[in-house]
Structure 1
């Protein structure tokens, strides 16, 4: 139901008992998305007709290929192209409240699996089935289901981008599952995945700085989060601290270096754990949290997203909390899958 409240209109999603605010003449989809609601849809411009909605009362205007149209009670319209000019009541059949996801299993086409530079990390690109858009947000992960039924979890490396799913997978030849996974990716045409999972997504914390802290392939998740921050036009100062054992293990360093040239508020700080004798390196050497403290000193106005081993994540967050970081402004999937006892 849409009711006037000063200059704001309220929509109640009848089937989900959820509601959100929308300003008069504001696009329904834009208002819903901004407030964390997600419509199960296949496009953004009224082509797929997945978001067909019934008007119960009032008046709604919506856009079609023939121009602006007016919906009257009993008529259907496409939610993604609509706005309201006054009190109205609509029935939304396919809406998800903030934090609500439908986990799906699907067979994805294997588009490519290529080594990145001189590392042992493969960039894997999958395509979901035609007409089956993956429903997730930047920062979430999926599980690959191997032919033997076992599962491996991998962060999705790209923000939502049509049917494309990008993964960064380190090959570990001494592990049977890793060998089977690589064989499937190189020889098979499709692979089963289950998604979305995880809650380490961009948060509205109100801090001036946001630190994206990654070790090894933890960069995968940070890549997606940063892409989303860029897309949203974040005005925070954004810092990527990416740690690896050796410089060559920073398998996609050219990408954050490119971002640093494109975005004035983005800063890339690589950190290596050790160097070979005679190896040249001008950056930080040692622990990630030591490099961060050396560069910034305090973290009382910071948000931290961390991805890596549980030991790394807890070491970084415990240390930074001692330097002012609020425990309400630190986010990692580690807290869910490897909680402290």
Structure 2
């Protein structure tokens, strides 16, 4: 059966099949509901069911607590329905501007930039161009039907290869392949662009970029996009890592800081060893932001990385630093191990 979903306050409507999630139906119809992981882990797609009812597939309780569900909130990425729905959600302008494509790509380079980080460069077919917004991601379609998601680290205006920053998770279905058997000229299929984590160009507010680990990847694309656009918006990048070598493109960030008067870079290391001789900032990266910028009321924040960092930053920036909640944009990197919990 087919049901109708109405989005408030926009009034947009789309059809949803009985076995289809609300988010999947919205993406198919070109309606810009916010989303990130698409698997019930990050909470980006959370909204309210105004009328009708939904049934949720497996999801993480931190993304939708039992109390929130009882109050009518829903994770639309894992919600199905057997009736017409009216939902309340803030739509993302521009999220459906570029078509989602399935396309092949060829591995051109594999560069190990840290003990557990590989920069993977993909050449796209000459006859096709992948249009996307800086910050979005692609999903690799693996042979067994499973998928793995990675943010694009290259700015969209390059019109050339796509680069990804892939962290090795021992035992990981895809990352083990990247770090052991994958070689140049291998063919990989993916679908994209996906996600609603991208720079909002319609604002002139200062931009705070917050990364942990390979969460730096989409933020790199955003910085390169802003450089290409000759944006005058102030940019401050806080990049957190366990040890200094995990800041695998530290030299690039320092180059940006040296060449761009509007750009500030603050690296933060949480578990430096004596042999690292680290003399920079230490501790948790979002707490460094709070110490330096206690008033975020005039900022836009783009946070990407481990879910615990993203969740802590949103809570503390809103509660302690007066950041408007609607100006916090996030992409929490979830792994299969996260989902298994």
How would you bin the TM-score normalised by the shorter chain? 0.5 to 0.7
Aligned positions of 1:2-21 closer than 5 A:
none
- Could you tell me which residue of structure 2 aligns to residue 146 of structure 1? 142
- Could you tell me which residue of structure 1 aligns to residue 212 of structure 2? 215
Tell whether the 8 Å contact from 2:152 to 2:218 is kept in structure 1 after alignment: yes
Q: Distance in 1 between matches of 2:184 and 2:333?
A: 35
Q: Distance in 2 between matches of 1:196 and 1:276?
A: 39
Q: Distance in 2 between matches of 1:335 and 1:152?
A: 11
Shift, 1:184, TM fit? 5.5
Q: Distance in 2 between matches of 1:153 and 1:188?
A: 20
What is the TM-score when the length of structure 2 is the normalising length? 0.66
Tell whether the 8 Å contact from 2:306 to 2:334 is kept in structure 1 after alignment: no
What is the TM-score when the length of structure 1 is the normalising length? 0.66
- Could you tell me which residue of structure 2 aligns to residue 101 of structure 1? 98
- Could you tell me which residue of structure 2 aligns to residue 57 of structure 1? none
Gaps of 5+ in 1: 1-95
Shift, 1:147, TM fit? 3.0
- Could you tell me which residue of structure 1 aligns to residue 162 of structure 2? 165
Q: Which one has more relative contact order, counting CA pairs under 8 Å at least 6 apart?
A: 2
Tell whether the 8 Å contact from 1:207 to 1:236 is kept in structure 2 after alignment: yes
Aligned-pair RMSD on alpha carbons?
A: 2.4
Shift, 1:278, TM fit? 5.1
- Could you tell me which residue of structure 1 aligns to residue 271 of structure 2? 274
When residues 258 and 244 of structure 1 are mapped into structure 2, their CA distance, relative to the original with a 3 A threshold, is same
- Could you tell me which residue of structure 2 aligns to residue 231 of structure 1? 228
When residues 97 and 216 of structure 1 are mapped into structure 2, their CA distance, relative to the original with a 3 A threshold, is closer
Tell whether the 8 Å contact from 2:314 to 2:328 is kept in structure 1 after alignment: yes
Number of equivalenced pairs? 242
2:151 to 129, 134, 155: 155
- Could you tell me which residue of structure 1 aligns to residue 131 of structure 2? 135
Tell whether the 8 Å contact from 1:129 to 1:163 is kept in structure 2 after alignment: no
1:113-142 superposed Cα distances (whole Å, 9 cap, x missing partner): 1101x4321111101111101121111100
Q: Distance in 2 between matches of 1:275 and 1:135?
A: 39
Flag the structure with higher strand content.
Answer: 1
Q: Distance in 2 between matches of 1:275 and 1:335?
A: 23
Which runs of 4 or more aligned residues in structure 1 lie more than 6 Å from their structure 2 counterparts after TM superposition?
A: 335-338
Aligned to 1:185, what secondary structure does the other structure show? Answer: coil
2:243 to 199, 222, 246: 246
Q: Distance in 2 between matches of 1:171 and 1:278?
A: 23
Q: Distance in 2 between matches of 1:318 and 1:335?
A: 17
Q: Distance in 1 between matches of 2:256 and 2:317?
A: 25
Q: Distance in 2 between matches of 1:222 and 1:132?
A: 25
Aligned to 1:264, what secondary structure does the other structure show? Answer: coil
Worse-matched range after superposition: 320-329 or 146-155: 146-155
Shift, 1:227, TM fit? 0.7
Confirm or deny that 1:178 pairs with 2:175: yes
Tell whether the 8 Å contact from 1:111 to 1:127 is kept in structure 2 after alignment: yes
Confirm or deny that 1:333 pairs with 2:331: yes
- Could you tell me which residue of structure 2 aligns to residue 119 of structure 1? 115
